[in-house]
Amino acid sequence: MAFGRSSRTGAMHAVTPVEPLTLKILVAGGFGVGKTTLVSAVSEIRPLRTEERLSEPGRTIDDTGGVEGKTTTTVAMDFGRITLREDLVLYLFGTPGQDRFWFLWDELAQGSLGAVVLADTRRLSDCFAAIDYFERREIPFVVAVNCFDGAEQYPVVTVREALDLVPEVPVLLCDARDRESVKDVLVGVVEHAMTLARARRQSLTTS
């Protein structure tokens, strides 16, 4: 009889739906660094894109050096979703890379757990603005170096020094086209943000 009760209880637990924790992650970086590609590679739903073709007047504003083959640009955001675990869902918001669309960043950043700053070693200075933005607002972030085909590869320590990052900020290598590589980056963001949150709580309890 006891066995029967435990079986029924186990069955009830098995069908109990899990309410997932949903977290918001930003994907930022310079123009043409691969933000749309990253969101598209990992999203389990059809990603929302707000891309427009580059116009001739826009070419005088947007720096396409190093990405001369790029023909479109994100004018608002990219949006995707990925379930990392049964109880953990990430909503991804890709930010526009050009200066003239940065007025959207504050709205996109509201409620975010953390961010990925995507970097291209051929145009490393393009991610300075994103790093400054998240540092000023104390939003946890990781730097993910998108390893483009044909681009020179540098050690992580060299990238860290070039970006003048504090030691706590993770620097990861990734392929924005590869789902598993992107998942590793997203896990890194969540873990980094939670580590900082625990440290802040401990600081408050000991102060």
User: How does strand 114-119 pair with strand 21-29?
Assistant: parallel
Q: What pTM was computed for the model?
A: 0.79
What average pLDDT does range 133-159 have in this prediction?
95
Nearest residue to 142 via CA among 112, 119, 175? 119
**Cβ atoms of 153 and 172 closer than 8 Å:** no
Main-chain phi, psi angles of 84, to 5 degrees:
-80, -40
Q: Please write the tens of the pLDDT for every residue from 166-194.
A: 999 999 999 999 999 999 999 999 999 99
Averaged pLDDT score across all residues of the chain: 83
CATH number for the segment(s) 19-206 = 3.40.50.300
Q: Please write the tens of the pLDDT for every residue from 69-87.
A: 544 554 458 999 999 999 9
Task: Quickly list H helices, 16-172.
Answer: 35-42, 56-59, 105-109, 128-136, 156-163
**Looking at the predicted structure, is the pLDDT value of residue 58 above 80?**
no
Q: How confident is the model at residue 104 (pLDDT cuts 50, 70, 90)?
A: confident
Nearest residue to 55 via CA among 75, 30, 76? 75
